[in-house]
Amino acid sequence: MNTAPTINFAPRAELSLKRRVRDQEPTQDDFEALRVCEENLRAYEARLRAFQAELEAAGAFVMPIGTNSPFGERFDRAIAPQAKSDESMQAGWDKIYRARSLMEAEQAVLKDERVKQRETAADLERREQAVGEREARMAEWEQQAATAAAVPEPSAVARLTRAPWQMARTVFSSHK
């Protein structure tokens, strides 16, 4: 008698819930990426501070005290009359703008790489789940095939020809 196999979805639902929770938690790779980004930003800040000190030493850049802007205010002859020339001031600003654009480009690339890595991880997770489901179906099919092969059902002709002998065997074996 062939019966349809029953499938218990509870373990898969629990596994799916655990995976969703695990995906929402920051991984060690995320912490490492943040640490590397922070180190890069600190190195960049150190370069900017050194550059600013160089400009201040040359007298081409004066940053007012108390400003929140890391770039200070624009060059003004009234604020910094000791500046050597407009060209050196412009060159300093150009370096700052170029460094800023490089940093923003690096951050954009890092963000894109992080997004691609998450997409790749999600794709691998989906493939892993699909392979697991296929393996479960194959195991179920193999089990059904093994049970079907273990108990061969005799054909109608075989049962018909064996019936008289089996009846005689039951009659004679029951009178011990």
Predicted TM-score (pTM) of the model is 0.34
CB 80 within 8 A of CB 62: yes
Low-confidence ranges of the chain (pLDDT < 50): 1, 75-79, 81-82
CB 51 within 8 A of CB 95: yes
For residue 176, tell me if it sits in a domain.
no
CB 140 within 8 A of CB 5: yes
For residue 78, tell me if it sits in a domain.
yes
Distance CA 58, CA 142 (A): 82
For residue 34, tell me if it sits in a domain.
yes
Q: Domain count for the chain, please give it.
A: 1
| Parent domain of 105 | 26-150
What local confidence, expressed as pLDDT, does residue 17 receive?
Answer: 61
For residue 107, tell me if it sits in a domain.
yes
For residue 68, tell me if it sits in a domain.
yes
Distance CA 86, CA 76 (A): 10
- What percentage of the chain carries pLDDT values higher than 90? 30
What local confidence, expressed as pLDDT, does residue 20 receive?
Answer: 64
For residue 17, tell me if it sits in a domain.
no
For residue 21, tell me if it sits in a domain.
no
What local confidence, expressed as pLDDT, does residue 77 receive?
Answer: 45
For residue 37, tell me if it sits in a domain.
yes
What local confidence, expressed as pLDDT, does residue 119 receive?
Answer: 95
